[in-house]
């Protein structure tokens, strides 16, 4: 898959901070325009201002993708400001409770954002990519979609959905010149863990070796497209890869031990 070029148009959700912002900063010099989506209009404006010296037209859309109207507005932007050739479904959040102690509305909104919004935007962008004969889709999942974690049942399940969804999309669209990547980062320094729902989470409880910077995660994601063929499932960071391998081995051993 060829690298981005200045005729590309990128759409990035969750673009106001963290991994989404890092994607915007990395791709802006290589795109003719970008559509940046997030809930916080002020933060989006600051990202756009940081890109002012780059020859790339930036469109900001401040909407809540948990809501059907928000998704509809971004779908319309795909039609009016496209054709989108790089789609990055990055918007997301998590909770930190056992399901029986959780806010059901928050869990259902998480499913809407991670699953329904991602499916909708892929459905909106892929026909244009197929017509052009090229494109890239990055669905940002998580290691939680590969490793079961307490307190993250719905979050992990929604990210596991993105893993399976991306793998199927890759098979469906390879012949059209479209590469699909499911990016599964581990713990990443960003605003993600500063949300109110995670006030009980102590970042110091996770060894520093397991933490990554958003810029490093994005660099690994984009570099992977230079491989032939590009990997559909990408876990950045050697410690994270080893963690996933060990968990998958435990799961295999458990299956083999079943009567």
Catalytic residue IDs: 155
Rounded to whole angstroms, the Cα distance separating 143 from 128 reads: 30
CB 75 within 8 A of CB 86: no
* Bond from prior residue into 83 cis (ω within 30 degrees of 0): yes
Closest of 57, 52, 66 to residue 14, by C-alpha: 66
Q: Tokens at residue 181, please? A: 């990547």
Closest of 186, 131, 185, 141 to residue 167, by C-alpha: 141
CA Rg value for the chain:
18
Q: Tokens at residue 143, please? A: 């290691």
């Amino acid at each position: 898959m060829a690298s981005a070029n200045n005729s590309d148009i990128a759409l990035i959700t969750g673009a106001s901070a963290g991994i989404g912002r890092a994607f915007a900063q990395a791709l802006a010099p290589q795109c003719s325009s970008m559509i940046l989506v997030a809930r916080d209009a002020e933060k989006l404006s600051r990202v756009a201002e940081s890109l002012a010296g780059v020859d790339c037209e930036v469109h900001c859309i401040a909407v809540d993708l948990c809501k059907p109207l928000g998704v509809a507005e971004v779908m319309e932007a795909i039609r009016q400001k496209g054709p989108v050739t790089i789609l990055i479904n990055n918007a997301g959040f998590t909770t930190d409770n056992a399901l029986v102690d959780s806010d059901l509305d928050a869990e259902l909104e998480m499913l809407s954002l991670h699953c329904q919004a991602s499916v909708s935007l892929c459905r909106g962008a892929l026909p244009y990519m197929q017509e052009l004969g090229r494109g890239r889709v990055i669905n940002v999942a998580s290691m939680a979609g590969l490793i079961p974690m307490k307190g993250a049942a719905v979050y992990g399940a929604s990210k596991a959905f993105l893993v399976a969804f991306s793998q199927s999309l890759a098979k469906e669209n390879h012949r059209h010149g479209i590469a699909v990547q499911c990016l599964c980062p581990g713990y990443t320094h960003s605003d993600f863990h500063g949300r109110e729902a995670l006030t009980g989470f102590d970042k110091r409880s996770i060894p520093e070796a397991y933490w990554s910077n958003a810029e490093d995660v994005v660099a690994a994601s984009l570099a992977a497209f230079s491989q032939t063929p590009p990997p559909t499932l990408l876990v950045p960071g050697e410690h994270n890869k080893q963690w996933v391998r060990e968990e998958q081995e435990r799961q295999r051993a458990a299956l083999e031990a079943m009567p």
